[in-house]
Structure 1
Amino acid sequence: MTLGITPTILIVPGLRDHVAGHWQTLLEQTLPNAASVPPLEYDGLSCAARVAALDAALAKIDGPVILVAHSAGVMITVHWARQHDRKIHGALLAAPADLETPLPAGYPTFDALAVNGWHPIPRERLPFPSIVGASRNDPLGKFERVEAMAHDWGSRLVDLGEVGHLNPAAGFGEWPMATTLIRELL
């Protein structure tokens, strides 16, 4: 950025919100210019409520913003981008959850996601630079589907290898590559 203005890093968590030990939670704690979309107190499965929460968090930030989204947070981000025109400096979209495909047990059902407005996944080109980090063995998003989404969004695809869903259950607390990819968006 020019003139010494550093973008605010806005964390967009997935449906499980803020998980202790998650790389997004740890990233927010280590970056001086980071904030997070707060957890919803009600309507947690509503896509519209999640998009409104992202928009409200953005409204509190003056200046440039880099979005850092994970899982369903990526879907919140792309739904938001389709509905709003605020300038965004860039976005890191990590391990997008393919909400158009039935998810494993323990996650919302396909029908519950449909009723709550998650379908279809927006496929329009994003109006800001973006990087999609895709896992080769993510149980919530097959690599080929995520690759196609990244292409449609105009995002640069980064093959992360076999990192599962890039969360604590897959062995990820800290994820140092996140800061490297964020720097690429500066």
Structure 2
Amino acid sequence: MKIRVLYEDNIKNGHKSYTTIEIPDGDYSVMLDIDYEQRLTEAKPEKKAEVKRCETVQEMFDLMSKKEYNHWRRYHRHLGNPKTPYRKDDESEDNTDVMDTLADNSQEIERNYQDEYEDVCQKIRQALGKKQDWADMFIAVRIDSIPIREYATSIGTDENNITHKLKRAEKKLQGIFKNRQI
């Protein structure tokens, strides 16, 4: 039997990408029985007659997903619009913290920073052309702030050699970028 499962990580730009799982025949009957017993014990006494046993694992997963989504929706539906604004100077009225409702854009900021970093590194590599070892050294020492001594030992060369190449790379980059807008 094959079932389709939707993980949160598999939803990209509103498009759902289901993962198909192969379950050998007979292995899922115990799972369906346990699910039925759990739902039967959780049901109110007057609603026990309405609880039905799921026929397939797919039906069970769909039922669990719907229940989980509704629980999440019930909890989060009012977070975007608090009834009273949060004021730190008036603690007696309301303890609502609006900071929980603000968007967290730290990942977007990190992605933008990483994009800018890669763009600058690419421009440095293009400017230095055939001297890729100079570009790697310049990026490591000047942009990533790795000490010259540490960088020299990591590539197995002398510090003076690194310092000399670094000065030559800086001079070449200054000559290239002096009149150009980045």
Q: Which TM-score applies when normalising by structure 2? A: 0.20
Larger proportion of helix: 2
Q: Which TM-score applies when normalising by structure 1? A: 0.20
Q: Larger RCO: Structure 1 or Structure 2 (Cα < 8 Å, ≥ 6 residues apart)?
A: 1
Larger proportion of strand: 1
